[in-house]
Each structure stands twice: as C-alpha cells, then as structure tokens.
Amino acid sequence: MSEEIKANNMNADQEYGELTALLKKEFPKAVLGFHAHRADETVVIKRDSLESVCRFLRDDRRCTFEIMTDLTAVDGLEMDMTPRFEVVYHFKSLTHARRVRLKVPLDEDDCKLASIHHLWKAADWYERECFDMFGIIFEGHPNLKRILMYEEFEGHPLRKDYPIDKQQPLMELKEIEERHTYGRHP
C-alpha cells in the first residue's frame, strides 16, 4: 500500500464535524466518543440517552434527520471489543444534506436498549431484524419477534459464536427417512 493511503488514514480520525460538536454541547454526559473516519460523522452515545438524543436529532431545527437509513449491530467478539456489541444507527437529513452514525455499546449480559419505533416507523422492522440476527432486546417494541428466520430457530445467526455450518433441521431427519421407506418398493 502506498504512503499516500497511509497518510490519509492517519489524519482521518482527528477531526470531527459540527454535528458532533452540537451533540457534545447538548448532551455532555451522553457522548462517549466520536470520530469521522473517511468523513463519516460518528458519535458514540450512552445507552440511557439514546431516546432523547434520537428525538433531538429528529426534531431540532439544526438537525432534522428525516430518514432513519439503517440500523444494525456489530459483534466484536473476535476483535476483543469491550463491551461486546455495538448497535449502529444511520440517519440522513435532507434539509441539511448530511448523514450521521450513532453507536451504542452494549454488554453481552445486558443486551437491552430502548426502542425508537415511535420516532421513525422504519425502526420497527429494523429492530426486529437486529433482534433476530443478534439477540438484542429493544425494550418497548410492540412486536419484537423474528423476521428473517423462523420462529423455532434457536440462537442468533450473526453472532460470531454462532457457527456458520450449524444445521437446524425443522423436521427430525429420522422422521423424513421413515416417510421415504414408507413408499419405497422392497
């Protein structure tokens, strides 16, 4: 890799945008960290203040993030991240033509945080998917059930300790084999 790419990486983490400054001013206790790697403004906030920060991002005239673009989580098990999980929110403001990423660190033993389905309707299904894939509980969600996997599925497939080759047959294999022999000519 060339020197130029390395130099780009070095100074990217140092700067942050005006939105980070605004959030730090409005919620001094909630902001745990920030960075602007590759100009993606990122603010790490405390779990308890998620709802108030999100409400501020949506309603304040200086923010007006109309669209909740994405919600997902990162399992930092292999990176030895503490705490293990990070819930990642992406928002887009059309008025101010900017994006922001919010991250909420979550402990493995206490994977719970407030639902924001009442602020953006998109959060309803995003939170269901995040629960399905990572087992993160969104408190106050009206219908927190699996969305991509089936109800009987055990475990949460995008967790790093869920093996990729694990099989969970819906019907016992024995039962299927018995059915086969039933119709088979001796």
Partner 1 sequence: MTDMSALQSRMDTNASGEDFSASVMSIEIGPAHPAMHGIVRLTTQLDGELIVGMEPEIGYLHRGFEKESENSKWIQVIPYTDRLNYVSPLLCNIGYSMAVEKLYGIEAPRRAEFTRVIMGEISRITDHLTCLGAAAMEVGAFTFFLWFIKAREYLWELVEEMTGARLTTNWTRFGGNSMDLPEGFLSDLADRISKLEEIMEECDKLLTRNKIFIDRVKDVGGISKEDALSFGFTGPMLRACGIPYDVRRADSYSVYDELDFEIPVGSTGDCFDRFLVRMEEIRQSASIIKQAADKMPEGPFMTDERMLQYPDKKDVYGNIEGLIDHFKLVMEGHQPPAGEIYMPTEGGNGEIGFYLVSDGSGDPVRVRMRPPCFNYVEAMPLMTVGHYVADIVPIFGSINMIGGELDR
The CA–CA distances, whole Å, from 67 to 19, 120, 152 equal 16, 8, 33
Q: Which residues make Cβ contacts (< 8 Å) with residue 76, sequence separation at least 6?
A: 82, 84, 85, 86
Counting contacts by CB under 8 A, is residue 61 touching partner 1?
no
Contact segment (CB under 8 A) with partner 1 among 45-53, 67-75, 104-112, 167-175 equals 67-75
Q: Least distance from C-beta 114 to partner 1, angstroms?
A: 18
**Whole-number Å distance between alpha carbons of 67 and 4:** 35
Report 105-164 residues binding partner 1 (CB under 8 A). Answer: 120-122, 124-126, 129, 133, 142-143, 146-150, 157-158, 162, 164
Least distance to partner 1, CB of residue 157, Å: 6
The alpha-carbon radius of gyration of the chain (Å, integer) is: 21
Cβ proximity of 110 and 166 under 8 Å: no
| β-bridge partners, 86 | 74, 105
Q: Where on the chain is the footprint of partner 1 (CB under 8 A)?
A: 1-2, 5, 8-9, 12, 37-38, 40, 42, 66-70, 72, 74-76, 78-79, 88, 90, 92, 94, 97, 99, 101, 120-122, 124-126, 129, 133, 142-143, 146-150, 157-158, 162, 164
